[in-house]
């Protein structure tokens, strides 16, 4: 994923100078109220920037190719609308992900 991110200036009382880390539950509750997309990185929300047209075409082609190869199997292709929880506590929105585990829909 080639997204650059920037830190919001104020998040419900959390300033740029704050060392407080948001728990994942707090982050997703806060995220529902935002008009901008964010990822949780090291306990802090990071605003996501948009993609270029070239990048978007590449992602679209990748999703189509993966769907074709995985059709009929247990794996599901996800877009950037699905957050991925990383074991270190971060939550990211990759351009494309494949879930071959139990899909809870």
Read off the CATH number of the domain in which 71 is found.
3.90.1570.10
Domain count for the chain: 1
Query: Which contiguous run of DSSP H or E holds residue 62?
Result: helix 53-70
Residue 3 has pLDDT above 50, yes or no: no
pLDDT at residue number 58: 97
Q: Collapsing DSSP states into helix, strand and coil, what is residue 6?
A: strand
Question: Residue-wise over 37-68: b if at least 16 C-beta within 10 A, else e?
Answer: bbbbbebbbbebeebeeeeeeebeeebeebee
Does any domain span residue 104?
Answer: no
pTM of the model: 0.69
Does any domain span residue 105?
Answer: no
pLDDT at residue number 75: 93
Segment 15-67, tens digit of pLDDT:
443 457 888 889 989 999 998 889 999 889 999 988 899 999 999 999 999 99
Cα separation, 60 vs 66, whole angstroms: 10
Segment 73-103, tens digit of pLDDT:
999 999 999 999 888 889 999 999 999 986 5
């Amino acid at each position: 994923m080639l997204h650059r991110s920037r830190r919001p200036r104020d998040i419900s009382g959390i300033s740029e100078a704050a060392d407080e880390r948001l728990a994942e539950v707090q982050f997703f509750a806060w995220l529902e109220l935002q008009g901008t997309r964010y990822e949780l990185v090291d306990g802090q929300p990071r605003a996501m920037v948009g993609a270029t047209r070239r990048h978007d075409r590449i992602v679209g082609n990748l999703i189509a190719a993966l769907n074709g190869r995985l059709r009929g199997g247990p794996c599901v292709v996800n877009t950037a609308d699905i957050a991925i929880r990383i074991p270190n506590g971060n939550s990211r929105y990759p351009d494309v992900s494949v879930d071959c585990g139990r899909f809870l829909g």
